[in-house]
Structure 1
Amino acid sequence: MFKPLSCYIGLRYTRAEKHNNFISFISLTSVLGVALGVAALIVVLSVMNGFEEELRSRMLDMVAHITITGPDGTLKDWKKLEDEMKTDSRVVGIAPFVEGQAMLSHSNKVQGTLIRGIDLSREAQADDIHSKIKIGSIDKLQPGSYKIILGADLAHNLGVFLHDKLILVTPQATTTPVGIIPRIKQVTVGGIFQVGMYEYDSALAIMNIADAATLFRIPGKVSGLRLKLNDLFSAPYMAQELQKSLSGNYWISDWAYQHANFFRALKTEKTVMFVILFLIVAVAAFNIISTLIMVVTDKQADIAILQTLGVSSGSIMRIFMIQGIVIGFIGTLLGTIGGVVLALNVETIVPYIESLFEVQFLSPEVYYISELPSKLSWSDVYTICSSSFILCTLATIYPAWRATRVQPADALRYA
């Protein structure tokens, strides 16, 4: 079978039986370094993808894909707008809501909170708050009952439990002859929910939409509409379309915009982790440079003979590049296989290690997510593999160029 001369000699050098043991050791460490770096990158990025998906899922249990409100925080013609939204095939659920800031007081404790009034008959179309109720029932939020469901951390901070009485103070004040008096209403704890995200568990309280509208003095109105789409990732684009197409003054936001800082922080953290772990591959690439320089030094006589036989500098350069490329390819391949296997089985391997050594990496008493989630992204795998292989290939250029600078007379004189 025909083989180019440079390829044949390069592969022969790679698998030669008689070779320098030290060079062989450096080659092995280069392969293992590349494999370790690639595997670590795939596993860590997969775990970070898993955490991002888990947090996004919990967030969307409380946040609508798209929220439409009026410029003053209320919607008067919301039923007409709702009928218009129903004609869009991308919208699979619509729920009105009333929202406002308030204070909750119990005994000597006071806590600021966000009150959200919901329509029990339609709230399930926009989010999954029903599944997050840990104590009590959301069905207790009947009109006129003035029952309230608190986040777990909010209830803990106030020191209240099911059926306890709270004082709710809204900023809508009443003017009387003796001065301005804030609106105060006694409410009853009808349940406690836990999402697993502190910003909701510590600062959100849920009421019936009619009770909330009465407290905030917007009877017959709502604060806005919450939309659920068939594709949550299309929300930013649809929000822009609605802003341009809807006739009227509306404030339209999507879930990604509302939590832009959160997702920007996750993206930054993922980028930093990629750079840090990729340094492992860079160290292995430097080992490839050292290996090839030593090989060039060891094979100077062979290089001189090839030059006297008329082999071109380009062919000699390719001989030693092939050696480095083989090392990079094997390391990248082993790392990819190991990384993919580990990433797909993190949720099985980690509990086994925890039970074996009787430790727990993520204590449920400290972390809301006590298990390591993992989501393998093949685009990440492709980026990692291609970047690693390209870096290893670039590392071969200088040693291979050094091989072309060997002078035949000097090399053969001391051979």
Structure 2
Amino acid sequence: MATQTLPAETADTGAHIQPTGTRPFAGFEWLLAGRYLRTRRREGFVSVIAGFSFLGILLGVATLIIVMSVMNGFRKELLEKIVGVNGHIFATPIDRPLDDYMAVAERLRKVPGIKLAIPLVEGQALASSQYANGGVLVRGISEADLKSIPFVGGNIRRGTLDGFDTAGGVAIGKRLADSLSLQPGDSITIVTPRGASTPFGTAPRIKAYPVQAVFEIGMTEFDSSFVFMPLTEAQAYFNRDGDVNVIEIFVDNPDKTQAVRDAIEADAPRPLVLSDWRQRNRTFFNALEVERNVMFIILALIVLVAALNIVSGLIMLVKDKTSDIAILRTMGATRGTVLRVFLITGAAIGVFGTLAGLGLGIVFARNIKSITAALNWLTGANLWDPTVRFLSDIPSVIDWGEVTSVVVMALVLSLLATLYPAWKAARLDPVQALRMG
């Protein structure tokens, strides 16, 4: 009887394995966990589940990094282009027309934090050529102010802005020029319903202008609809009696527009209504933020499903190794030893899957333009249509804080997935297990 009770006493006290009890994750535990991860004919199905768990975590982490990087780049590019072309703060008159716009703009330029104050005349019109037509937004602006907008003045693809105030021509976006089949020197006809007043009502105004320059901002909406016209010509065309619609203000830091607004209101040269880019684009950027959060949740479910696969795979492995666990316990292995063996087995899948997904995601995110171009060449299709997605190229900005959070999330889920199967393995009664075996 003494020999029969000895293994159980040894298993409970762990007297024969003091080195294992004092040193966590001993070498033989790593060796045993590694053997459980290798493919063997009898445990082939378990290995298949482990492989799918590895691929699931790899793809989940990589997809999260890629998608979040693209959405970060999408927001950054849209913000830079929308704010870079339209300004940060908009000042419109209250009591009377803004006919003293030169003095008001000069006064605004002296406010700390403001780098540009641009008077504009804006109006909707129809642009046409002998080939096609389309709706446009005409903006009257001076040559100096137009050149000072980097997304326009620094992106002239054809023609020139030199002599813009006196040449009598207009600058149009590249996509508008392509759709109307226009080159610099060609004529573009602009039609507005608000023309000259006659005894029979207001007659439409139709006038042809030579195309002086073609610009490309890189945002489809702007490149296909913007027409820049000399300020004095726009005032005459839209029947403005020496005044402007709005003064667009560009500040040094777009995220601190409220402080500049407070400074303008405290020292306003005349009563003005102020609005900023956040108010004008609130719905658009809120929608982007909601989409970004929803995409993160949806893609995180891929990692969660892979973690659940780890649970099922380890449970099957524990059931298959019941007799092995019983023999280990009778040889002196403690419950902690068995627990650590299966923790290592499950955690290895999560750790290596996460690291592989991290590498794949970063490589893909950093080279996404080249990969997209290669896929376009292979498929013969345009996978990134700028007319649908606003931007000319697919953007990608890696946020290392987000990457860290994705990696930590995947590692934590993988570790949590191993706890229950490892605990079940450690709680096995060796006597009962040997009887069942």
How high is the TM-score relative to the length of structure 2?
0.76
Alignment of 1:372-383 (within 5 A): 372-383=394-405
2:280 to 253, 258, 263: 258
2:228 to 192, 200, 206: 206
Amino acid at match of 1:13: L
2:86 to 63, 69, 72: 63
Once residues 386 and 405 of structure 1 are traced to their aligned partners in structure 2, the CA distance between those partners, rounded to angstroms, is 29
The Cα of 1:205 is off from its aligned counterpart by 1.9
2:302 to 256, 261, 280: 280
Residue 343 of structure 2 contacts residue 422 of structure 2 at CA under 8 Å; is this kept in 1? yes
- 2:431 alignment partner in structure 1: 409
- 1:16 alignment partner in structure 2: 35
Amino acid at match of 1:35: L
- 1:34 alignment partner in structure 2: 57
Once residues 96 and 286 of structure 2 are traced to their aligned partners in structure 1, the CA distance between those partners, rounded to angstroms, is 27
Give 3-state SS (helix, strand or coil) of 1:274's partner: helix
The percent identity for this pair of structures is: 31
Summarize the Cα distance change of 1:199–1:165 in structure 2 as closer, same or farther, 3 Å threshold. closer
1:340 to 338, 358, 362: 362
The Cα of 1:277 is off from its aligned counterpart by 3.4
Summarize the Cα distance change of 1:151–1:315 in structure 2 as closer, same or farther, 3 Å threshold. same
- 1:95 alignment partner in structure 2: 118
Amino acid at match of 2:354: T
The Cα of 1:370 is off from its aligned counterpart by 6.3
Amino acid at match of 2:93: G
2:315 to 278, 293, 296: 293
1:130 corresponds to 2:149: no
Summarize the Cα distance change of 1:199–1:365 in structure 2 as closer, same or farther, 3 Å threshold. closer
Give 3-state SS (helix, strand or coil) of 2:362's partner: helix
Give 3-state SS (helix, strand or coil) of 1:142's partner: helix
- 1:7 alignment partner in structure 2: 25
Higher-Rg member (1/2): 2
Once residues 364 and 181 of structure 2 are traced to their aligned partners in structure 1, the CA distance between those partners, rounded to angstroms, is 44
Give 3-state SS (helix, strand or coil) of 2:140's partner: strand
Once residues 253 and 73 of structure 2 are traced to their aligned partners in structure 1, the CA distance between those partners, rounded to angstroms, is 19
1:190 to 211, 218, 231: 211
1:120 corresponds to 2:139: no
The Cα of 1:52 is off from its aligned counterpart by 4.0
Once residues 167 and 337 of structure 1 are traced to their aligned partners in structure 2, the CA distance between those partners, rounded to angstroms, is 53
Amino acid at match of 2:419: I
Residue 362 of structure 1 contacts residue 370 of structure 1 at CA under 8 Å; is this kept in 2? no
1:224 to 224, 243, 246: 246
1:398 corresponds to 2:420: yes
Once residues 95 and 343 of structure 1 are traced to their aligned partners in structure 2, the CA distance between those partners, rounded to angstroms, is 38
Summarize the Cα distance change of 1:18–1:89 in structure 2 as closer, same or farther, 3 Å threshold. closer
- 1:168 alignment partner in structure 2: 191
The Cα of 1:154 is off from its aligned counterpart by 4.4
The Cα of 1:243 is off from its aligned counterpart by 7.2
Summarize the Cα distance change of 1:310–1:66 in structure 2 as closer, same or farther, 3 Å threshold. same
Residue 58 of structure 1 contacts residue 195 of structure 1 at CA under 8 Å; is this kept in 2? yes
Amino acid at match of 1:33: G
1:181 corresponds to 2:202: yes
Once residues 325 and 138 of structure 1 are traced to their aligned partners in structure 2, the CA distance between those partners, rounded to angstroms, is 63
Once residues 72 and 307 of structure 1 are traced to their aligned partners in structure 2, the CA distance between those partners, rounded to angstroms, is 94
Amino acid at match of 2:202: I
Amino acid at match of 1:411: A
Amino acid at match of 2:308: F
CA RMSD, Structure 1 to Structure 2 (Å)? 4.0
Residue 174 of structure 2 contacts residue 216 of structure 2 at CA under 8 Å; is this kept in 1? yes
The Cα of 1:129 is off from its aligned counterpart by 1.5
Amino acid at match of 1:69: T
Summarize the Cα distance change of 1:310–1:153 in structure 2 as closer, same or farther, 3 Å threshold. closer
- 2:10 alignment partner in structure 1: none
- 2:407 alignment partner in structure 1: 385
1:142 corresponds to 2:165: yes
Once residues 37 and 412 of structure 2 are traced to their aligned partners in structure 1, the CA distance between those partners, rounded to angstroms, is 29
Residue 196 of structure 2 contacts residue 202 of structure 2 at CA under 8 Å; is this kept in 1? yes
Once residues 133 and 291 of structure 1 are traced to their aligned partners in structure 2, the CA distance between those partners, rounded to angstroms, is 60
The Cα of 1:117 is off from its aligned counterpart by 0.6
The Cα of 1:289 is off from its aligned counterpart by 0.6
Runs (5+) with no aligned partner, structure 1:
none
1:331 corresponds to 2:353: yes
Amino acid at match of 2:248: R
Once residues 108 and 370 of structure 1 are traced to their aligned partners in structure 2, the CA distance between those partners, rounded to angstroms, is 24
Residue 67 of structure 1 contacts residue 226 of structure 1 at CA under 8 Å; is this kept in 2? yes
Amino acid at match of 1:7: F
Residue 114 of structure 1 contacts residue 203 of structure 1 at CA under 8 Å; is this kept in 2? yes
Once residues 326 and 49 of structure 1 are traced to their aligned partners in structure 2, the CA distance between those partners, rounded to angstroms, is 31
Amino acid at match of 2:25: C
Give 3-state SS (helix, strand or coil) of 2:86's partner: coil
Kindly provide the CA deviation profile for residues 28-63 of structure 1, in whole angstroms up to 9, marking residues without a partner as x.
432233122212322333234334444444445532
The Cα of 1:4 is off from its aligned counterpart by 5.0
Amino acid at match of 1:412: L
Amino acid at match of 1:297: K
Summarize the Cα distance change of 1:92–1:245 in structure 2 as closer, same or farther, 3 Å threshold. same
The Cα of 1:381 is off from its aligned counterpart by 0.9
Once residues 15 and 276 of structure 1 are traced to their aligned partners in structure 2, the CA distance between those partners, rounded to angstroms, is 33
Give 3-state SS (helix, strand or coil) of 1:7's partner: coil
The Cα of 1:96 is off from its aligned counterpart by 1.9
Amino acid at match of 1:180: G
The Cα of 1:339 is off from its aligned counterpart by 1.9
Once residues 198 and 154 of structure 1 are traced to their aligned partners in structure 2, the CA distance between those partners, rounded to angstroms, is 9
Once residues 16 and 317 of structure 1 are traced to their aligned partners in structure 2, the CA distance between those partners, rounded to angstroms, is 16
Q: How many residue pairs were aligned?
A: 409
Residue 154 of structure 1 contacts residue 202 of structure 1 at CA under 8 Å; is this kept in 2? yes
- 2:4 alignment partner in structure 1: none
Give 3-state SS (helix, strand or coil) of 2:304's partner: helix
Once residues 164 and 124 of structure 2 are traced to their aligned partners in structure 1, the CA distance between those partners, rounded to angstroms, is 19
